Each structure stands twice: as C-alpha cells, then as structure tokens.
Amino acid sequence: MFPIEFTRSLQEILPASEAEELCAALEAPSPVSVRYNPYKITDEAPGRAVPWCRYGRYLKERPSFTLDPAFHSGAYYVQEASSMFIGHLYEQAMARIGRNRDAGLRILDLCAAPGGKTTLLATLAGLENIVVANEVIRARAMTLADNVRKWGLGNVVVTNNDPAHFAGLQEYFDVIAVDAPCSGEGMFRKDLQAREQWSPENVRLCAQRQRRILSDIWGSLKPGGILLYSTCTFNRTEDEENIAWLVDQYDCEPIEVELDPAWGIVRSEEAGICTFRFYPHRVEGEGFFAAVLHKADGKVRLRTPKPRRTILVPLPRPAATVVGRWFGQPEHMCFAQAGDNIYGYYGESYPMVKVLSESLSVVYSGVLAGQLFGGKLRPEHPLALFHDLASDSAPSVRLGLEEARQYLRKQEIDVSLLQEGINLVRYGELPLGWIKRIGHRANNMYPKELRIATL
C-alpha cells in the first residue's frame, strides 16, 4: 500500500486511470538491467538493448551478481535502466554545443555514490577528460571508490566533500551532474523504506535541500557549461518547480534533445527547459526525472585555487620507467607519488588532478599502481583492473568459474598453476587481481575487504 497523500499527488500529474496504472506498476517486479564496460568487453554483450543507452542491456532474470567473476572484474555495472538516460542527455548536449570531441573536459558528478552515473560519464567522456565523482557521506564515498577502481578507466577523481566546498573552484567545470537526494518515489517498488518514510513534509524538505545544493554548485559551472539535473521522484515540487526556480534565479538556456517516441519517455517543458519523465507503466525502468540546462555564455574568469598542501609529487624518470612497464601505453601517462603509493594518470588530465587534490578531500584518483621496493613495483589491486594493463606485465593464470570464485573468496589456488613471483589472475580474458607464488605456496593478494562470502 502507498501513502494516501502520495496517490493523491499522482493525480496532479496524471489522469486518474493512469495514476492507477502507475501504482500497479510500482507493485510489479523491477526489470533487471546492466551496463557493460566497452573497454573490457569487445564482443556483443548478452541481453536486450536499453534503447537510450548503447551499453545498456536488460536481462531476463536477475543472476547472482556476487558469484559472477565478470562482475568483480568490472566487465559490467548493475544499473537501473532509467538512470542510464543521463548518458543520452550528456551526449546530446555536448553535440549541440559543439564540444563532443573536446579534450580536457572537466565533469563533476556531484552526488555520485554508488557510481552508476560516474562510470557511465567516465565511459562517454573519453580517457583524455576527467570526471570528479563526489559523495558527501564518507562510507558511501568509499563504496564509490571501490566501483571506480573496478571500472578501471583511470579518468576519475573520487572526492568526499559537501557541495559548498566546491565554491573555491569557480567556473571550473564544463559539465555538472546533480542526481539530487530526493524522496525516492520512483524507487517505491525496490525500496520499501522509501514508502514508509514518505510524507508531504519530507518532499518539501528534499526540495529545499536540492535548491541549496544547486545554489552551492552553480558558480562552479563555466558559462556555456551544461547542468544535468535528475531525481527518482514523480512530484512537481522536487522536479519541475526546481527547474523553474533555477531559471528564475540564474541565466539558464534550453538544450534541444532528440527523443524517440517509441521509448515511452514523457517529454515536456518547464520555464522553457525540456524535461523528461520516466513512468514505470510506460517504460521498462524505475521512476525518474531529468532535465538538461545550458549556462548562458559569458566571460570565463580563469581562477586556479591556491594550493593548501602538496599531495602528488612527480615520480623521477628512472622510477617512472619501472612503473611504466606495467602500463600498455606509458607514453600517455604521468606517474606521481603520494606517501608510499604510486599513481598513474593520463598526461592531459594530470594538472587538473593535481589542482583537485590540493583543493578537495580526495579519496581516490587515477590508477593506484603500487609501491616501489628495491627498484621493483609491488602491484596493487586497482592496477590489475586497469583497462590498459600491459599484457606482458606479469604471467597470467586463467581460471575456470569455480576456481575464480575460490580466488575471490581469498581461498587457496593450486600452486602448480602459477609461475614463481607475481601472477595475474584471469577469468577467461578478464583480469581479477594478483597472486604471488613463493616456492610451494601461494599468496592470494585479493583485497580482504572485497572478498565474497563463502556459500
């Protein structure tokens, strides 16, 4: 059952008969969808295509993702289909303003955990650009970092900041995505707690918080930049009314977006801005709202925040040569050290990462390569999952399904399968992590905090 006030609110945006259809859909099972990683899967991915996302797929049934080694390798991300529409808005908007092929783009995913939109934007942006994935709650930021490491592109900086902390980065970002914390109406069939916590007062509180977030971050968007706003709600208070408020408060312009009517998405307009609604009785996905806005052109005031502290130190050339042997294209990389840890960054984005590291609370960035001991690199887990790991960086051992699950549980692997020293564990062609043979024993190097439970 749904709160009475909620069902009444639906009748403000839908005819009574459609409101009933929507409520019935919210009681039905949710569709299962994933988005595959084109940097790790080159063959046609299984499943039926999500029409608005070329990497999205619907699955007939929900498998045990936890027991699938391909999931742990970052071959795909389990993402709700409607939320993949942000990728369509991003591509359409960047093409409209003529920046779809630009290098050096700075993209901020402000409310990023657990990482669905971050990994989508990182994929679409290209490796020469940077995605800053921010999450204000520390525990959720750590989960976000885990998913970014697993995705393995190396073009993401994970931060743990309040939106107000970005004030020092004035007119810095080309794109800002705000998937705002909301009342969660669109997720009612997946989240019973959201039903129990729903109230008209909570809707109003969410709308107020969303406006604070938007006002905190607006100054960090460059003139001519793109704002992607989304919620998983149906009510106008958190959706259209916030768009109208933005247009009233700031100098916003519309962006034209092509939309196939067959997709079932309801396209409308609020204060001249195109809006998009996903109703579960019309589309194969959860409830979702999205809009895209263009910040009016103006003179960009180039401001580089003053560094608070030095975090990243460039690696000397001899050490960089040692580390570079583990990367497929080291000529495109810069290597830097923070404490004992060595990180790899794409050369074009390294200056941006350095500024961000000195201005924000960074949880993770680039590719954690490992530590140097005696002129040799001790590799860390994220390096194994990096999409451009050098093919000859270490001997590979290919495991079957059950053996791969043993590895992911940090259990013993038949030592006779391994060469002496560091070995890369693969499931088929997909890397899973490292294992080290020392004589007649093997050290499973899979991170203990990521290991799957024994079933």
Indicate which residues carry an active-site annotation.
232
CA dihedral sign, ordered 104, 107, 108, 111: negative
Angle of helix 200-218 relative to helix 240-249, nearest 10 degrees? 30
> Of 235, 243, 237, nearest to 178 (Cα)?
243
CA distance 382 to 208: 39
**What is the DSSP pairing of strand 221-231 with strand 288-295?**
antiparallel
CB 238 within 8 A of CB 185: no
User: Reduced to 3 states, what is the DSSP secondary structure of residue 91?
Assistant: helix
Which residues have C-beta within 8 Å of that of residue 439, sequence separation ≥ 6? 420
Which residues have C-beta within 8 Å of that of residue 59, sequence separation ≥ 6? 32, 33, 34, 46, 47
Torsion over CA of 213, 215, 216 and 222, rounded to 10 degrees?
120
Which of 58-65's residues contact partners 24+ apart within 8 Å by CB, and which partners?
58/31, 58/32, 58/33, 58/284, 59/32, 59/33, 59/34, 60/32, 61/32, 62/32
